[in-house]
Structure 1
Amino acid sequence: MTVQAIRTVLFYLLLSFSAFVWGTLSLLIAPFLPFKARYRFIAQAWCKFAVWLATWMVGVRYELKGVENIPSQPCVILAKHQSTWETFFLTGYFAPLSQVLKRELLFVPFFGWAMALLKPIAIDRSQPKLALKQMAKQGDERLKQGAWVLIFPEGTRVPTGQIGKFSRGGAALAVNANLPVLPIAHNAGQYWPKNGWAKFPGTIQVVIGPAMYAEGEGPRAITELNQRAENWVVQTLRDMGELPPEATPQTVAEAS
């Protein structure tokens, strides 16, 4: 077993142990805290610890650009999805944040139970129409409560070197709330792959794009805004060498 493999095993052991400890403490303490303090205690602190642990144990570092593009008011974040790393990073960086996730994740012992206290938008992927309605309703509520809403518009983790077609749900949520979308591109999948336990030392590039507002209202404005955000992510990935010039967005089924 290589040194990096040993480090990776130790990383997962420490991460799992910390999730158990943090989740248990959260279940005991967090219900008595107001939402923002609860978020900082449960999600932000632990996710920052996870990002730090990945840096310290397996050499997965990051470089962040475009911080000046973050608006003062929370809005809808449309982020590229390649691995688990960006979930940790974005949850720790933007606070408070509500994210769209699979309902099954809330059933994971300790950590999932603690996550349920953070007002996530937990959807049932087997019922897409119902999931869209739920995302629109609960997403609007979270934005009005002053929380960022994180959406991975590809719908699932797409391997490095590919990109899935962006769904319009996030853009629709932003247009209906009269708020911008904030696109984010990165190449986390190179160092924390979608599949397997392997972790590779290196520096993840994270780029936050300009806040984008819709030009008008209605379905056409939603489609145009979504396409603009998708185009920015695609071009940024090409600029960082993550996508070949000929790569184009494709459906999740084709990407996988």
Structure 2
Amino acid sequence: MSILQAIRVFLFYLLLGTSSLLWCTLSFFIAPFLSFRARYRFINVYWCRCAMWLTRVILNIKVEVIGAENIPQTPCVIVSNHQSTWETFFLSAYFQPMSQVLKKELLYVPFFGWAMAMLRPISIDRDNPKAALKEIASKGDKLLKDGVWVLIFPEGTRVPFGKIGKFTRSGSALAANAELPVLPIAHNAGKYWPKEGWGKRAGTIQVIIGEPMYAQSNAPRAIAQLNDQVQAWNEQAQRSLGSLPAQPEVVTETVI
């Protein structure tokens, strides 16, 4: 990383951290008096747009969305690969209101966690997979019925660019039981915003939104088939973006 790029990254994180602290503090005092949808826009959408603006202007990382016409009018389950923090910012602003699965420990972070707690997240204990799956199923179903998008990263953790993690069935099961589709999303954010380290690369992140996918029923076999279909689509989409080699290296890890 060049000296100029290092300065850009330092400035980016300085402004991002400062804006996060100020915005979360402000949200803590204002958001409780707003409706959920207004609260989501105030806390998440506006700040995430600020983060995306800083990313574009300071780091020169842009975004290209392919397949926006595939987004259904009714909120459903969004299933995306996970390579960096960038897609969390982007998806939180692009789909609204939206809830996502996160570690419950994040809610204990002063100001940031307190603000996140007001956005109806699905907080889970990753050390207790069975309880986590029940939490995703019960809270996710309620959110979907309330017209809230639910974002799930089925790999369960950030996976380095050039690799893909095994997709768990939580997203497909949630969609099948709610009789709603899975909206598959693939991207190459890790190419410009790596999982490890502070370095960033200028360029254009490509996001592909696929056609909604439905399970034939909520039977275990149908859920497994939908999950396989979603992962196969994601692998193919990532190959088209140059994110995966001809034979992708699969990351094996026990995740939710």
TM-score (norm 1): 0.97
State the distance in 1 between where 2:11 and 2:217 align. 52
**SS of residue paired to 2:73:** coil
Retained in 1: the 8 A contact 2:67–2:210?
A: yes
**Distance in 2 between the 1:241 and 1:124 partners?**
34
Please state whether the residue corresponding to 2:118 is helix, strand or coil: helix
In terms of mean alpha carbon deviation, does 102-111 or 191-200 score higher? 102-111
Q: How does 1:138-217 map to 2 (within 5 A)?
A: 138-217=139-218
Q: Name the counterpart of 1:242.
A: 243
Unaligned runs of 5+ in 1: none
The Cα RMSD (Å) is 1.2
Structure 1 counterpart of 2:113: 112
Residue 56 (structure 1) aligns with: 57
Partner Cα separation in structure 2 for residue 28 and residue 126 of structure 1: 33
2:143 partner letter? R
The aligned amino acid for 1:172 is A
Q: CA separation in 2, counterparts of 1:110 and 1:187?
A: 30
Match of 2:71 in 1: 70
Give distance in 1, aligned partners of 2:109 and 2:8: 25
Runs ≥4 residues deviating over 3 A:
none
Return 63-72 or 215-224, whichever deviates more: 215-224
Cα distance in 2 for residues equivalent to 1:79 and 1:249: 16
1:252: how far off?
Answer: 2.7
Amino acid at match of 1:86: E
**Contact 1:156/1:252 (CA < 8 Å) preserved in 2?**
no
> 1:14 matched to which residue of 2?
15
- Secondary structure (helix, strand or coil) at the match of 1:118 reads coil
Structure 2: which 5+ residue stretches go unaligned? none
Counterpart contact for 1:158–1:252, Cα < 8 Å: no
Aligned pair count reads 254
